[in-house]
Amino acid sequence: MSRKSKGKYESITDIPRDIKIGLVISDYHKQYTSQIEEFNVNYLKEQGFKDIEVFHLPGSFEIPSFVSELVDTEDYDLIIPIGVIIKLNLPHYDYICAEIFRGLMDISIDDETPIIPGIIVCENEKQVKKLLNENYAEYGLNFLKEILRTFD
């Protein structure tokens, strides 16, 4: 992205604090997703974002359709999905994961609202435990900043 920059939106601190952020959390493996949720919500609050709405879904497969409905409301400036998938040794998860990422990609191409793929896919719980402090909020804000800088 190298369109003209007006000097605004050089960093996350330049993003208006009144934007509305939606978090869509999968409750599958809730012991982990709730920790990631807490970490990310705290980060957003520390950064001064107050308008945060959190939704809980049964699993990650439902994330794309729910995100798509949220996008359609046109109320949100940034949507952060969060899910944990532990693949075990079951082909089921190959198909689920492939379709979740495809679904999110389809939405991110069709719609303008920034969406990030905050879904952790692991082989086992040990790998998940290392990733509980993934800062998807910061990742999303950086993406939003770049979009604002380029197109606003």
x/- contact string, 101-140, with another protein (CB under 8 A)? -xx--xx---------------------------------
Closest distance to another protein from the beta carbon of 96 (Å):
7
CB contact set of 133 (below 8 Å; sequence gap of 6+): 36, 39
CB contact set of 18 (below 8 Å; sequence gap of 6+): 50, 51
Q: Tokens in use for 151?
A: 């197109």
Stretch of 35-43, 44-52, 90-98, 120-128 contacting another protein, by CB under 8 A = 90-98
Identify the helix (H) or strand (E) that includes residue 30. Answer: helix 30-46
Q: Is 98 in the site for another protein (CB under 8 A)?
A: yes
Q: Could you tell me the strand order of the sheet in which 21-26 lies?
A: 52-57, 21-26, 78-86, 119-122
Query: Helix, strand or coil for residue 83?
Result: strand
Of 3, 4, 6, 92, the active-site residue reads 92
Q: Is 56 a known active-site residue?
A: no
Residue entry with tokens 């996350």: 12
Considering only residues 1, 6, 46, 89, which one is a binding residue for another protein as defined by CB under 8 A?
89
Nearer Cβ to another protein, position 52 or 148? 52
* Separation CA 45–CA 74 (nearest Å): 22
Residues of span 17-76 touching another protein by CB under 8 A: 27-29, 55-59, 61-62, 64-66, 68-70, 73, 75
Residues at the contact surface with another protein, assessed by CB under 8 A: 27-29, 55-59, 61-62, 64-66, 68-70, 73, 75, 88-92, 94-96, 98-100, 102-103, 106-107
Residues marked active site are found at: 92
